[in-house]
């Protein structure tokens, strides 16, 4: 529709032209992203995802993914902190897969973390495990919905209402990739713990949601 309006030259002002062009660009980006996700997903589901596992440094993969995400962070006015344990052992992993995991989790943190969200990416090592977490201090996820968010196409009631953008595929991809690495994915959220639900800025509540 906006493309047609532009082509017809029926613009009330030059600003309108720019506005339409911006909408077209944004929507094209969104569709590209969606298509990429669907393609990755169908490949992975058919077991055709050529997981290319090799010994790598997950901290480096995380740092690179976060860097690629940085322009989005700046644009959205959220803050991002990265905490990486020192001297993490190398592990067998698929770098593209892990990058996709991070993109999806970061995208969710920005999308659902609310205005001025504070996002933390943390990578810790324990005996025989590496633990990667992405935390935001937004409204969180209701208890009864937590076990469903990793299901294909599932979106919470809050997300369906407020954020039209999204297909509910991201987290099922994340789960699939985590399991393909011999790991698992979990959610830890207490609605109201973040500061955005009640707009409560007292220290007590300013913990990650
Ligand atoms: N950081 C978050 N805070 C609150 N809700 C979240 C968060 N991340 C995911 N969700 C919920 O989980 C649902 C599934 O996530 P995902 O599969 O990535 O789908 P979407 O296409 O909506 O991003 C989202 O629709 C949203 O309801
Ligand atoms: Mg998502």
Distance 49 CA to ligand 1 centre (A): 23
> Any idea which of 164-168, 180-184, 193-197 has the lowest mean pLDDT?
193-197
Q: Which domain holds residue 20?
A: 1-50
Do both 182 and 82 map to the same domain? yes
Query: CA 37 to CA 47: how far, in whole Å?
Result: 15
Query: CA 48 to CA 51: how far, in whole Å?
Result: 8
Q: Which ligand is in closest contact with the Cα of 150?
A: 1
Query: What average pLDDT does range 110-114 have in this prediction?
Result: 91
Question: What DSSP assignment string belongs to 54-112?
Answer: EEE-HHHHHHHHHHHHHHHHHHHT-EEEEEE-SSPPPEEEEHHHHHHHHHHHHHHHHHH
pLDDT attached to residue 204 = 38
Do both 180 and 126 map to the same domain? yes
Do both 60 and 143 map to the same domain? yes
pTM: 0.78
Domain finish residue from 30, 50, 70:
50
Do both 1 and 95 map to the same domain? no
Highest mean pLDDT among 20-24, 33-37, 42-46, 67-71: 20-24
Do both 62 and 113 map to the same domain? yes
Model confidence band, residue 171 (pLDDT cutoffs 50, 70, 90) = very high
Q: Which ligand is in closest contact with the Cα of 168?
A: 1
**How many structural domains compose the chain?**
2
Do both 58 and 92 map to the same domain? yes
Whose structure tokens read 């991070």?
102
Q: pLDDT tens-digit profile of 130-157?
A: 999 999 999 999 999 999 999 988 999 8
Do both 31 and 79 map to the same domain? no
**CATH code of 57's domain:** 3.30.565.10
pLDDT attached to residue 164 = 63
pLDDT attached to residue 208 = 42
Do both 20 and 61 map to the same domain? no
Model confidence band, residue 12 (pLDDT cutoffs 50, 70, 90) = confident
Do both 35 and 58 map to the same domain? no
Question: Residue 8 above 90 pLDDT?
Answer: no
Q: Please give the mean pLDDT across all residues of the chain.
A: 84
Ligand 1 shell residues, CB under 6 Å: 104, 108-109, 112-113, 136, 138, 140-141, 149, 154-156, 159, 166-171
Distance 126 CA to ligand 2 centre (A): 28
Do both 160 and 88 map to the same domain? yes
Distance 146 CA to ligand 1 centre (A): 10
Do both 59 and 149 map to the same domain? yes
Model confidence band, residue 120 (pLDDT cutoffs 50, 70, 90) = very high
Do both 154 and 167 map to the same domain? yes
Model confidence band, residue 196 (pLDDT cutoffs 50, 70, 90) = low
128 SS3 class? coil
- Tell me the CB-side half-sphere exposure of residue 95, using CA atoms within 13 A: 11
Tell which one of 105, 118, 157, 159 to mutate to probe ligand 1, the residue whose CB is within 8 A of the most ligand atoms. 159
Domain finish residue from 34, 50, 66:
50
Question: Residue 20 above 50 pLDDT?
Answer: yes
Q: pLDDT tens-digit profile of 46-105?
A: 766 667 789 999 999 999 999 888 888 888 899 999 999 988 999 999 888 898 899 999
């Amino acid at each position: 529709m906006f493309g047609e309006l532009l082509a017809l030259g029926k613009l009330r002002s030059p600003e309108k032209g720019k506005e339409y062009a911006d909408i077209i660009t944004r929507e094209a980006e969104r569709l590209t992203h969606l298509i990429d996700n669907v393609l990755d997903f169908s490949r992975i589901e058919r077991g055709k995802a050529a997981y290319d596992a090799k010994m790598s440094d997950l901290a480096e993969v995380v740092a690179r993914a976060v860097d690629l995400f940085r322009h989005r962070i700046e644009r959205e006015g959220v803050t991002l902190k990265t905490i990486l344990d020192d001297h993490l052992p190398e592990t067998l992993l698929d770098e593209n897969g892990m990058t996709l995991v991070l993109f999806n989790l970061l995208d969710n943190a920005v999308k659902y973390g609310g205005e001025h969200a504070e996002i933390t990416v943390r990578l810790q090592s324990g005996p025989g495990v590496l633990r990667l977490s992405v935390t935001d201090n937004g409204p969180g996820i209701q208890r009864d919905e937590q076990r469903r968010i990793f299901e294909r196409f599932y979106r919470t009631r809050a997300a369906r209402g407020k954020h039209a953008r999204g297909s509910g595929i991201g987290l099922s991809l994340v789960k699939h990739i985590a399991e393909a690495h011999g790991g698992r994915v979990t959610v830890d959220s207490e609605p109201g713990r973040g500061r955005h639900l009640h707009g409560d800025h007292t220290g007590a509540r300013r913990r990650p949601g």
